Every structure is written in structure tokens, then in C-alpha cells.
Amino acid sequence: MLECVDVERRFGGLVAVTGVNFQIQRGEIFGLVGPNGSGKTTLTNAITGFYPPQKGRILLDGKDITGTAPHAVARMGVARTFQNLALFNGMSVLDNILLGRHVHMKPGVLRTAFYSWLSRDEEIKHRQLVEETIDFMQLQGVRDEMVDAIPIGLKKRVELARALVAEPRFLILDEPMAGMNQEEKEYMARFVLDARDERGVTVLLIEHHMDIITGICDRMLVLSYGEVIGTGIPREVIKDPRVIKAYIGGAKDAT
């Protein structure tokens, strides 16, 4: 599904990521971990087109997408959530999730003027899919609540729901369990597994919680100072001395 070949991204003289090589197979949940500042978000921004790499290539389903604009990457079936919540306060849970359908909508003056003939059936389909996703994410009880009035655990679910209604083939989750208690983390882990198993979504999961990575990821990659220091099956990778040193010793910010 995704392949990164010798990816490097610099900001001036600062090397954020360099020499990154890995593949994610279709249907995998692939973990991306590393200390704060190790280059995880820089790498995902390179994949999604926000900060294209200066060197290397990124391939989605065999197609080279290096340097492709973010909106074009989204139309290719890539969706993401963000480390910091990117929801719209002052709007309901339902409306926030409905915004995830924007990549499939076809706005225009004529479609608005002749709504009953050109747009109504399409809008009904969009709303049906949103309602199905609300049920899938167990958000029925807060669907009409203002998103700024619900707890952070539910907000994280709303953001995942908004990504899922885009019907992605490849989903990037940037620390979806940050700030959650253990029960909330277990719920979210279940939703990620269900998204893969029931919707056929391939997942790149960025997390600090190693229990989640070892519990639900098929394989993982570890970054430190922008370089790969470990990759493979989670329970084996976490035993690597370099990985243990990076976490216990602490890596300084590099991004």
C-alpha cells in the first residue's frame, strides 16, 4: 500500500528525517514510534504532501506521489487525524463528521440552483454514510452535541469518524490515544482494529503507548533523531538495545 524509499526532509540545515525506508502492506496496522522530536510527524507530513521530501520517493499503491499536493493525496484515498485536535468548535458532532465527506462532494452554482434534481440524492447518500459511521463509532448519544462540550476521549472518536467517512484506503492516525485513560485507549484500539477488519483500511498508527503498539500492530518502525533504529514485529523490536536506549535514555528534539 505504501512504500518510502530513502526519504529525507530538511529544514534549512536541520535534518528532520533521513534515509527512511519501509513498506506497509495492504491490510496492515503499522506502528510508527519514537521519542518526541524523532521525526514521526515530519515523515507523515511528507507522505501526505504538506512537506514533500527533498530526497527519496513515496509510493502509494505503486504510484509515485512524491511532492503531490495534500488535497490530491486525499482524493487518492488517504485520510489522517492530527496530534492536536483539529475539530471545529461551535459545530455539532454530526456537522464535524459530515465535513469529512468534502472530498466526495461536487459543489457548484448549478448544483445549488437545481438542488432537488442535481444534489438532493447525493446529499442523502452522504448523510446515510455519516449516520452509519456515527453508529460504528458509538457516537449516537452525542451526535447533536457541540463538539467543544464533549470530553477529549469522545473528541478523538469524532476525529476518527470524520476520517473514516472519507472512505480512505490508507489511514494515518497521529497519536489518537493521547490524553486518554486506559479504558478510553482500549475502546479506541478496538475501533482501529474494526476499521481495518470491517472496512478494509490500511493503518499507519503513530503512538507513544507501547502496550497499544504491541497489542494491535502487525509491524512497527522506530525513529530516533530522524533515522530508523528498528523495524519488524513489535514484540521483537522493543527488545532491541538501540530502541531501549532511545526511550530510556531520551532523545532530544530533532524536529
What pLDDT was estimated at residue 211? 87
For the residues of 90-118, what is the DSSP string, one character each? TSBHHHHHHGGGGGG----HHHHHTHHHH
Burial class (CB in 10 A: 0-12, 13-18, 19+), 183: exposed
Question: Domain spans of the chain?
Answer: 11-77+168-255, 87-150
What pLDDT was estimated at residue 99? 86
Give residue-wise pLDDT tens across range 16-30: 999 999 999 999 999
Give residue-wise pLDDT tens across range 118-138: 556 676 787 888 899 999 999
* Residues contacting residue 32 through CB under 8 Å, at least 6 positions apart: 40, 43, 44, 204, 205, 206, 207, 220, 221, 223
- The pTM (predicted TM-score) of the whole model is 0.84
Counting residues of the chain whose pLDDT is more than 70, the rounded percentage is 89
What pLDDT was estimated at residue 73? 93
- List the CATH code of the domain at 11-77+168-255: 3.40.50.300
Examine the pLDDT at 2 and tell me if it is beyond 60: yes
- Greater confidence, 67 or 254? 67
CA–CA distance, 48 with 27 (Å, rounded to integer): 19
* Residues contacting residue 134 through CB under 8 Å, at least 6 positions apart: 93, 94, 97, 140, 143, 161
Q: Using pLDDT thresholds of 50, 70 and 90, give the confidence band for residue 111.
A: low
Give residue-wise pLDDT tens across range 26-57: 999 999 998 888 889 899 999 999 999 999 99
Contact 69, 40 (CB under 8 A): no
What pLDDT was estimated at residue 113? 52
Mean pLDDT computed over 163-188? 89
Burial readout 233-245 (b: 16 or more C-beta within 10 A, e: otherwise): ebeebbeeeebee
- What are the Cα distances from residue 205, in Å, to 5, 24, 62, 93, 98? 19, 11, 21, 23, 23
Chain mean pLDDT for the chain: 86
